[in-house]
Homo-oligomer: A and B are copies of this chain.
Amino acid sequence: MKKKLAIKDIAAALSVSEASVSIVLNGKARQNGISVKLEDKIMSFVKKVGYQPNRLAVGLRTGKSKTIGMIVEDISDPFFSSIARVVEQHIYQYGYRLIYGSSENSTEIANDLMQTFKNYQVDGYILAPAPGLEDGVEDLIKAGAPVILFDRTLPDLPCSTVVVDNFRGSESATMHLIENKFRNIAFVTLSSRQDQMTERVNGYLAALKAHDLPAVIKDIEYREAKEKTVQSIKNLLKGKHDIDALFFSTNYLALSGLEAIKEMDLVVGQDIGVVVFDDNNNFALFTPAITAVAQPIREIGLQVSKILLDQLQEDHMIGSQNILLKTKLVVRDSSAPLRRHS
């Protein structure tokens, strides 16, 4: 077993003090008046033997772990994993690593994760906050920790946020359906209303109201079995509302919805229109291709990283930034005016 070498080993090997090695390693040779000669000697030796400092010891000593904690709802959801990917790439160059957890939208798991991150002395937090995380986040902010909320916010907290304009995104998608002559548009969403979902509902309602059209909102339990969701949507479709279009508030809800439509032998584009909030790599390949409200994933990840890095650099608290990003309605075939079979 290769023994791991420590600063004292390299100091001993070169007959210099540990302190000099540490100073050189941290690029503070200049300000501490270390000779260029010694610096070179140390650096080349370090490189030769491939020494790397123990991050745990550095962290313990400096109080900086160079680690960022990220809480997503579910890392296997492409929306979150894609953002995680962008953040990872971006902060990596600055020497930060990502440690993450999936909250499943549970207050308990999320708080537990927060506690864990604290114990790991993470330097910053990137959170898609589960409900009930207000207190935890408030404590962090009071403690001066960099915290960025994304995807959804927590009301009344002086905290940086990066979110999309859910209201307008939803409103414009609904208007688009209305323009294409849909008149009975149902909105399929989650029963647990977090703020991003509330905004999506409100956008939908606003558009309908402006045109004096009836609203039908179908609430689905978070994480209920897929078959159950499919059944609920079938019931909705069979119901008295004579629905001609379905607007899904999330990507995975749409997957269940499309299945329900298929099982009922309805045809998207002929019998019913479909729009989905949150785009997906595959939607362009569906038949018909699915119209979606696309979120600027890359931009979200970039902004989150940028603000975090900013806050990490600042010694004194800087005002929090609140970024609102535009969504983009990607019109495909599923929302075209119906061509009904005779």
- List the interface of chain A (C-beta within 8 A of B): 1-2, 52-57, 59-60, 65, 67, 74-78, 81-82, 84-85, 88-89, 92, 97-102, 115-116, 118-121, 139, 142-144, 255, 258-259, 262, 280-282, 284-287
* Cβ contact of A101, chosen from B55, B88, B101, cutoff 8 A: B88
When distances are taken between beta carbons in the complex, the residues of chain B under 8 Å from A59 are: 56
Closest to A95 in B: B116
Contact between B102 and A88 (Cβ–Cβ < 8 Å)? yes
Closest to A144 in B: B1
When distances are taken between beta carbons in the complex, the residues of chain B under 8 Å from A81 are: 75-78, 81
Contact between A286 and B287 (Cβ–Cβ < 8 Å)? yes
Contact between B102 and A85 (Cβ–Cβ < 8 Å)? yes
- Closest CB of chain B to A324's CB: distance in Å? 24
- Closest CB of chain B to A332's CB: distance in Å? 12
- The docked-state distance in angstroms from the alpha carbon of A1 to that of B317 is 12
When distances are taken between beta carbons in the complex, the residues of chain B under 8 Å from A119 are: 52-55
When distances are taken between beta carbons in the complex, the residues of chain B under 8 Å from A255 are: 281-282, 285
- Closest CB of chain B to A34's CB: distance in Å? 23
When distances are taken between beta carbons in the complex, the residues of chain B under 8 Å from A84 are: 75-76
